[in-house]
Amino acid sequence: MSPNPSTFANPVIAGFHPDPSVCRVGEDYYLVCSSFEYFPGVPIFHSRDLVHWTQIGNVLDRPGQLRLPLDSPSSAGVYAPTLRHHDGRFWLITTNVSGDGNLLVTATDPAGPWSDPILLPDLPGIDPDLAWDSDGTCWCTIAGVAQVRIDPHTGEVLDAPRRIWSGAPGAKAPEAPHLYRIGDYWYLLIAEGGTERGHGVSIARGRTPSGPFEPCPDNPILTHRGTDHPIQNTGHADLVQGPDGSWWMVLLGVRPGGGTPGWHVLGRETFLAPVTWVDDWPVVGPLAPEGTVPWPLRPGPAEASRDDFDLPALPPAWISLRDRQERHCTTKERAGWLTLHARGESLDDCDVVFVGRRQQHRSCRARTLVDTSSGTGGLALRLDEEHHYEVEATAGEVRVVARVGTLKSVVASRAVPAGPLVLGVDVHEEKTLRDARTGPDTVHLGFGEPDGTFTTLATLDGRYLSTEVAGGFTGRVIGLHATAGTVHFDWFDYESLDG
């Protein structure tokens, strides 16, 4: 099934879900995204209409598939996967810049299990793509843009990388290549201009998979640079054809808010645009922004916003920093509770025990019931080690800690009775622009009183947890952490306040 291009709203996968790659098998669409320093890696989604997506797993969900050293920096890790279906199997190729470099895994069921990785040590670069010729030759194209033939079963690189086409002269960062056979041509789709406001999508075509390639006279075929469109940084795209013959593009973009220069806090999200063909060139239709009339089909089952930690394993939307060892994170130790055993001493540390879910709404509320009788921990809003806000408890005290760059402070604290305590983080979008420095949102951190009321201990400016301030490639994650001893969490509840 394909959506009506005039009746769906973007983003189709909200929050930190960048670098989408998509394929279709029959009536089913599957999509993957980059995951960077988080484990498990490469979330995979299923849809029947390209609009409503359900996460069905993570491709790299075993330590043997994904090695992320505890000292690897944020915004490293897993970059830019490509997902394809060929010869009855799903194939995924990606780059772990913190470990094994380029690697390839396969599966017969996209929900898993996926194979152990086939390593490609002789394949340089990042953003690898896979495409098969009619004679079975497998072409791998990488950022730059260069191309080699590979044996996908062994990882052997069969020839030296050869430059083929790198977009507009002088445009920086030609990357995210995808090669397709469509009609009489091979098309090479790339991103260029950098992943910031200058991001764009360009395309070229040739008669053979190795070129020579002729650039589209209307390049870039998609960019929002220099416009006031509410969706910016558009790029890193992939094409897919629907069962009805319609064509679609998935891509990343951001929704900046506040004053100048505009801050995006949810990370790079996944968007959808219709594609038509004119003179054998793709023409990308407008990106319907948030707030348009929703696609009128009934959505698929939504993932629960509350988790009571009653299952033996966490659902696939939960992500941890760099690894997830049962001795540090488990639902089996105390029935109906998530137990975290501390390793790092604070969220400043790369090895801190942290497990969370991506913030997916501009305004939202998160709550958790925590027992810190044997440790210290709580609820955090995290961008990276140098940019995070948290409300945490220890015996007899609850406090709010803020880290922004080199500055760190306990901004508020309060004595509380012993025993389990509700902690909360509320994020409220700033819809009124007071001046050019108005941030995109405010973050309210506090705790629940015994009578059920909620006390806000601190209200902080959200722009300091944005990519424009922190740099990097990720978005906010709201999660649970332990920084000393053992901390238990009875439940976690996340609620959208958008409206």
Q: Give residue 43's pLDDT band: very low, low, confident or very high (50, 70, 90).
A: very high
pLDDT attached to residue 27: 96
Q: Give residue 301's pLDDT band: very low, low, confident or very high (50, 70, 90).
A: very low
pLDDT average, residue stretch 282-299:
61
Task: Say if CB 180 and CB 131 are below 8 A apart.
Answer: yes
pLDDT attached to residue 7: 63
- Structure tokens belonging to residue 187: 């098309």
pLDDT average, residue stretch 372-400:
97
pLDDT attached to residue 266: 98
pLDDT attached to residue 298: 35
Q: Is 101 exposed, middle or buried (0-12, 13-18, 19+ CB in 10 A)?
A: middle
**pLDDT one-digit tens code per residue, 327-377:** 999 999 999 999 999 999 999 999 999 999 999 999 999 999 999 999 999
Catalytic residue among 49, 127, 129, 175: 175
pLDDT average, residue stretch 419-441:
95
pLDDT average, residue stretch 251-264:
97
Phi, psi of 22 (to 5 degrees): -135, 150
Task: Say if CB 73 and CB 321 are below 8 A apart.
Answer: no
pLDDT attached to residue 297: 35
Between CA 413 and CA 376 the distance in angstroms is 14
- Structure tokens belonging to residue 74: 């944020």
pLDDT attached to residue 300: 38
DSSP string across 257-294 = BSSSS-B--S-SEEEEEEEEEETTEEEE---PPTTSPP
Q: Give residue 444's pLDDT band: very low, low, confident or very high (50, 70, 90).
A: very high
pLDDT attached to residue 418: 85
Q: What's the pTM? A: 0.95
Residue 295 has pLDDT above 90, yes or no: no
Between CA 300 and CA 55 the distance in angstroms is 11
Q: Give residue 73's pLDDT band: very low, low, confident or very high (50, 70, 90).
A: very high
pLDDT average, residue stretch 199-228:
97
Q: Give residue 108's pLDDT band: very low, low, confident or very high (50, 70, 90).
A: very high
Residue 221, classed as helix, strand or coil, is: coil
| Higher pLDDT, residue 285 or 393 | 393
In terms of DSSP H, where are the helices of 357-473?
A: 467-470
pLDDT average, residue stretch 154-172:
94
- Structure tokens belonging to residue 397: 């005290």
Closest-CA residue to 270 (of 314, 225, 316, 236): 236
Q: Is 19 an annotated catalytic residue?
A: yes
* All domains in the chain, ordered by first residue: 21-284 (2.115.10.20), 306-496 (2.60.120.200)
Q: What is the mean pLDDT of the chain?
A: 94
